[in-house]
Amino acid sequence: MTTKVLVVEDERDIARSLCYALEKEGFLTRIASDGQTAIAEGRAWRPDVVLLDLILPDIDGLSVCRSLRKESAAAIIMVTARTAEVDRVVGLEVGADDYVTKPFSIRELIARVRAVLRRMQDLEVAESALVSGDLELHGDSRKVFLQGRRVDLTLKEFELLKTLMNHKGRVLSREFLYETVWGEPFAVETRTLDVHIHSLREKIEKNPEAPVRIVTLRGVGYRFEG
Ligand code: CA
């Protein structure tokens, strides 16, 4: 299967040379030269990887990242001229998987693309049995074990934990989690997801009041840490 890379970049020459290099490596590419197009392509084309320039003519790259994250599980690599640590942190908090600062070499960028894809594939391979420390989730038998002891989960709690573990270390928006587990559009006012996260924490966290496995990223979503 060909890997699809969406290049979000308003500088035509940079976008073209990136696509040229990526296609030479066997990737399928498309260019979005502004944020609106990026969000539309994320929805319609369903890329596997998004290279996202931070400074775009219409919408800020961080907002684009947030929007993409709501509806897609694509790996997002932020590309920017900014170097401040604060930008790096903000980028990762809105759900980017990696970060590259300009100027970068094409070779370095392709290495990063391959690295995020490898991380995603590792997660898919492990889907039937997900293990994280003393927590084990068996997809086939629908059983979860903590320190070798069976944990009783409802069907939705199980699906929620599976989705979180499947994307270990990655920020998942509340919209994405809800739509994946419940299979229906997310309504901002619904507390269903939060209630389930709460009960899941009661069952798998040592101290549910100070969770270390399922952490909250305020205003963004949740991340399974391990
Ligand atoms: Ca730019």
What confidence score (pLDDT) does residue 220 get? 86
CA distances to 8, 76, 140, 185, 224 from 40, rounded to whole Å, are 12, 15, 36, 18, 28
User: Please, what is the average pLDDT of the chain?
Assistant: 87
The pLDDT of residue 123: 62
Residue of higher predicted confidence among 37 and 129: 37
- So what's the pLDDT on residue 101? 81
Distance CA 14, CA 152 (A): 52
The answer to whether the peptide bond before residue 211 is cis (omega within 30 degrees of 0) is: no
How far does residue 86's CA lie from ligand 1's centre (Å)? 19
pLDDT attached to residue 127? 54
Q: Are strands 149-151 and 171-173 parallel, antiparallel or unpaired?
A: unpaired
Instruction: Report the pLDDT value the prediction gives residue 48, as an integer from 0 to 100.
Output: 92
Element at 43 (helix H, strand E)? helix 35-44
Taking residues 177-201, what's their average pLDDT?
89
Whole-number Å distance, alpha carbon 68 to ligand 1 midpoint, is: 18
Q: How far is the CA of 195 from the centre of ligand 1 (A)?
A: 40
pLDDT at position 7 is 97
User: What is the mean pLDDT of the segment spanning 10-39?
Assistant: 95
- Give the Å distance between the CA of 12 and the centre of ligand 1: 10
Centroid of ligand 1 to alpha carbon of 82 (angstroms)? 11
- Domains for the chain: give ranges and CATH numbers: 4-122 (3.40.50.2300), 130-224 (1.10.10.10)
Q: Which residues surround ligand 1, an ion (CB under 5 A)?
A: 10, 53, 55
- How many angstroms does the Cα of residue 109 sit away from the middle of ligand 1? 16
Mean pLDDT calculated for residue range 5-25: 94
pLDDT band at 37 (very low <50, low <70, confident <90, very high): very high
Position 90 scores a pLDDT of 65
Proportion of the chain above pLDDT 90, given as a percent = 50
The predicted pLDDT at position 29 comes to 97
Q: Which tens digit of pLDDT belongs to each residue from 50-70?
A: 999 988 999 988 899 989 988
- How confident is the model at residue 122, as a pLDDT? 66
- Residue 5 — very low, low, confident or very high, per pLDDT cuts 50/70/90? very high
Q: What is the pLDDT of residues 67-124, one digit of tens each?
A: 998 887 789 998 877 666 556 666 666 778 888 887 888 888 898 898 888 877 766 5
Residue 225 φ/ψ, nearest 5 degrees = -90, -35
Regarding predicted confidence, which is higher, 47 or 219?
47
Report how far ligand 1's centroid is from the alpha carbon of 150 (Å). 51
Cα-to-centroid distance, 7 and ligand 1 (Å): 11
Instruction: Read off the pLDDT of each residue in 186-195 and give the average, rounded to a whole number.
Output: 87
Name every residue whose Cβ is closer than 8 Å to that of residue 141 and which is 6 or more positions away in sequence.
none
How many other β-carbons are positioned within 10 Å of the β-carbon of residue 90? Answer: 16
